[in-house]
Amino acid sequence: MSRFKQQVESIAARLLKRVGVPASEMPETLKKTGRGMILFSILLVVPLLLASHVPLAVTIVLQLGYAALMCTGVILALDDGKKAR
């Protein structure tokens, strides 16, 4: 699981570096990006709740998009660092 997390974070960091985010702001920007992905993933579920007759292919694509955005958003948004007591 930690290898998957490292790969997700490195891909997101590379994309943010291309956009021009400085390295000093990278951790906070990764968290903001993760939170945004979580919120955007919820928007993918809304059409399934509002429309009763959605084609199966559209349902599958929306659910896969929801799962992918939710998982990567949680990985980026939540920090699993040990807290000092």
Give residue 59's pLDDT. Answer: 92
Give residue 82's pLDDT. Answer: 55
Give residue 48's pLDDT. Answer: 87
Q: Which pLDDT tens digit goes with each residue over 28-72?
A: 998 999 999 999 999 999 988 898 888 999 999 999 999 999 999
Residue pair 37/76 in contact (Cβ under 8 Å)? The answer is yes
Give residue 27's pLDDT. Answer: 87
Residue pair 85/15 in contact (Cβ under 8 Å)? The answer is no
Residue pair 69/37 in contact (Cβ under 8 Å)? The answer is yes
Give residue 79's pLDDT. Answer: 73
DSSP state of 23: G
Distance CA 53, CA 31 (A): 36
Tell me, yes or no, if the pTM score tops 0.85. no
